[in-house]
Amino acid sequence: MSTNQPGQVSAEPSGVAGEGVPDARQRRTILIAVCVALMAVIASVSGLNVAQPDLAVAFGASQSTILWIINIYTLGLAALLLPLGAVGDRFGRKPMLLAGLTVFGVASAAAALAPSAEVMLTARLFSGVGAAMIMPITLAVITSTFPEGERGRAIGVWTGVAGGGGILGMFLSAALVDVATWRWLFVLPVALVIVALTMTLRSVPNSRETSGHPFDTVGALTSIVAVTGLIFVLQEGPERGWTAPATLLGLAVGIIAAGAFVAWELRRREAALLDVRLFGERSLAGGSITLLVLFGVQAGVFVVLFPFFQAVLGWSGLLSTLALMPMAVLMMAASGLAPRLAARIGPRATMTTGILLTGAGLALMAALVSVDGGYLSLLPGMLAMGIGMGLSMTPSTEAITSALPRERQGVASALNDVTREFGTALGVALLGALLSSGYRSAIEPRLAGVPQGPADTAREGVANAVDAAHQAGPRARALIHAAQESFVDGWQHAMWAGVAIMAALFFYVAARGPQQPTTRTPANEPEPAGATAR
């Protein structure tokens, strides 16, 4: 085994060609292995959303408890991404990936067999812990294993799975709920874990950082508190109220911890968990802000689309998720195309093109949507948005991973993932609030003549209005139509807000986006002869 200087990556070959470099066949196997592991994590983020009524009946649980069963997974995942990514860099990425897959698989099996809501909550929390061990390592394995000329294409595949995998997971989950029970939702992640474990043991080489500095425990703990507080606020604010004591306490804790984290990391400098000074560079700042906005808009659009499909068009959960597949397929295809386009016209031009298409898709959905127009009124906008997001996400991810040195790719990958999770939570909170506000404002003048009981229920949302219509007597049909039209009005408020956000992002990236191709070696270091295999 070679001995390198502190802060470098040392290597010994493990069934690889050349000087510790995996051959082309093994690289394909490595890419499949990490993408299967990533798919297990991504599918579990959204899978339970389609089974909320079934969970409530099975456990006799309140809506608040059901939301915690869903959200605690994301909370645990987001809070631990950064410290566990750093642990993987230091102690070995392959052992961390294997441990994460094991924890995730066991926790998913426990969730499938859970006899009570309390057991389910615990299992979902440990699933989030396992996911936080898996997700940053999957991207770090790619960036530390693939040579510079192939790294962009591999990241494009990873990005496509990360972007479109959630939609595919929702579709498969809805199908399992329709044909079996909610407990079968966990069969998919467990099966994916078994495949990923087998492939990782056989093909994935190990790599790790050799550092002369002690682990940044203070930075890790403050990052956990900061992310937990801020994600809690974004998840619970819409339910508890933005001025509720718990919401304000979470916000205060999150902001104070984030400030402490930044101050500590500036003091630690080279020994920091994350060198926050790098956010002054175009690549890291531009990539992070772009992913934050893109995933926020995507999550917010899903909040709008599902009620439209189910409460306005009257579709089932399975058909609703199937309706999203064209956008997912184009997103994944465009993610694979993005590295080639970036090599020709540059990452900044590729990102701005994708952002422009995403904004155009939102504008089309805002302008064309109508109750009578149905699904076809949305399809052009969804297709444009899918292509635009795919083109933007891959160079943004490369911009983040290229900003940190090769031996810190676990941290870089974790930062990429934390940005996605924050964007998702922020988009759901913001666009969801705009939709609700627009709906309530639009339906109020349309409730004239509707009995008090069903009118009060209708103010809560379009699905509530449809459910309460039978209590409105001869005004039932008018109430449903009023709720659907009001929902479209609220939809337009949310979508035009999304267009404004994308316009601001377009001008920011055009002015401050990464200028150089993002497939360069991180931190301008020479490409190492091989990655560590231990």
Of 368-377, 395-404, 450-459, the range with the lowest mean pLDDT is: 450-459
Using the predicted structure, report yes or no on whether residue 533 has a pLDDT greater than 70.
no
Of 117-131, 277-291, 327-341, 356-370, the range with the lowest mean pLDDT is: 277-291
**Residue 421 to residue 227: CA distance in whole angstroms:** 10
Q: Which of 359, 301, 295 shows the shortest CA–CA distance to 494?
A: 301
Using the predicted structure, report yes or no on whether residue 380 has a pLDDT greater than 90.
yes
Between the alpha carbon of residue 304 and those of residues 174, 384, 503, the distances in Å are 18, 17, 20
What is the mean predicted confidence (pLDDT) over 62-71? 79
| Percentage of residues in the chain having pLDDT higher than 90 | 25
**Residue 509 to residue 99: CA distance in whole angstroms:** 38
For residue 356, the one-letter residue type is: L
**3-class secondary structure, 8:** strand
Structure tokens at 25: 């066949």
What is the mean predicted confidence (pLDDT) over 302-320? 80
Query: What pLDDT band is residue 268 in, cutting at 50, 70 and 90?
Result: confident
CB atoms within 10 A of CB 454: 22
Maximum Cα interatomic distance, the chain, rounded to a whole number of Å: 82
What is the mean predicted confidence (pLDDT) over 411-436? 82
Question: What is the predicted pLDDT for the residue at 381?
Answer: 93
Using the predicted structure, report yes or no on whether residue 419 has a pLDDT greater than 70.
yes
Which comes out higher in pLDDT, residue 522 or 338?
Answer: 338
Q: Which of 288, 32, 41, 287 shows the shortest CA–CA distance to 165?
A: 41
Of 25-34, 164-173, 320-329, 502-511, the range with the lowest mean pLDDT is: 164-173
What is the mean predicted confidence (pLDDT) over 410-433? 82
Using the predicted structure, report yes or no on whether residue 205 has a pLDDT greater than 70.
yes
Between the alpha carbon of residue 300 and those of residues 211, 303, 342, 358, 497, the distances in Å are 41, 5, 27, 13, 11
Question: What is the predicted pLDDT for the residue at 523?
Answer: 39
Which comes out higher in pLDDT, residue 250 or 172?
Answer: 250
Residue found by looking up tokens 């490595």 in the block: 30
Q: How many CA atoms lie within 13 A of 509 on its CB side?
A: 32
SS (H, E, C) 215-244: CCHHHHHHHHHHHHHHHHHHHHHHHHCCCC
Taken in order 426, 427, 429, 433, is the CA torsion positive or negative?
A: positive
Between the alpha carbon of residue 177 and those of residues 186, 246, 264, 445, 497, the distances in Å are 11, 34, 47, 38, 34
Of 1-5, 206-210, 268-272, 338-342, the range with the lowest mean pLDDT is: 1-5
Using the predicted structure, report yes or no on whether residue 108 has a pLDDT greater than 70.
yes
Q: Which of 300, 328, 323, 325 shows the shortest CA–CA distance to 313?
A: 323
What is the mean predicted confidence (pLDDT) over 272-293? 83
CB atoms within 10 A of CB 137: 35
Q: Is 389 exposed, middle or buried (0-12, 13-18, 19+ CB in 10 A)?
A: buried
Query: What pLDDT band is residue 21 in, cutting at 50, 70 and 90?
Result: low
Using the predicted structure, report yes or no on whether residue 122 has a pLDDT greater than 90.
yes
Question: What is the predicted pLDDT for the residue at 525?
Answer: 40
Structure tokens at 410: 């676990």
**Residue 345 to residue 340: CA distance in whole angstroms:** 9
What is the mean predicted confidence (pLDDT) over 180-208? 87
**Mean pLDDT of the chain, nearest integer:** 82
Question: What is the predicted pLDDT for the residue at 107?
Answer: 95
Structure tokens at 177: 């709920």
Query: What pLDDT band is residue 113 in, cutting at 50, 70 and 90?
Result: very high
Model confidence, pTM: 0.80
Question: What is the predicted pLDDT for the residue at 147?
Answer: 83
The 10 Å CB-count burial string (b at 16+, else e) for 70-98 is bbbbbbbbbbbbbbbbbbbbbebbbbbbb
* pLDDT single digits (tens) 208-265: 777 667 888 898 999 999 999 998 888 888 778 888 898 899 999 999 999 999 999 8
99 with 133: CB under 8 angstroms?
Answer: yes
Using the predicted structure, report yes or no on whether residue 371 has a pLDDT greater than 60.
yes
Question: What is the predicted pLDDT for the residue at 6?
Answer: 38
What is the mean predicted confidence (pLDDT) over 99-117? 93
533 with 144: CB under 8 angstroms?
Answer: no
Query: What pLDDT band is residue 17 in, cutting at 50, 70 and 90?
Result: very low
Query: What pLDDT band is residue 516 in, cutting at 50, 70 and 90?
Result: low
Cβ-Cβ contacts under 8 Å for 445 (sequence gap 6 or more):
none
Using the predicted structure, report yes or no on whether residue 16 has a pLDDT greater than 70.
no
Cβ-Cβ contacts under 8 Å for 386 (sequence gap 6 or more):
326, 327, 328, 329, 330, 331, 334, 361
Question: What is the predicted pLDDT for the residue at 532?
Answer: 39
Query: What pLDDT band is residue 416 in, cutting at 50, 70 and 90?
Result: confident
Query: What pLDDT band is residue 20 in, cutting at 50, 70 and 90?
Result: low
Q: Which of 403, 419, 395, 346 shows the shortest CA–CA distance to 524?
A: 403
Query: What pLDDT band is residue 63 in, cutting at 50, 70 and 90?
Result: low
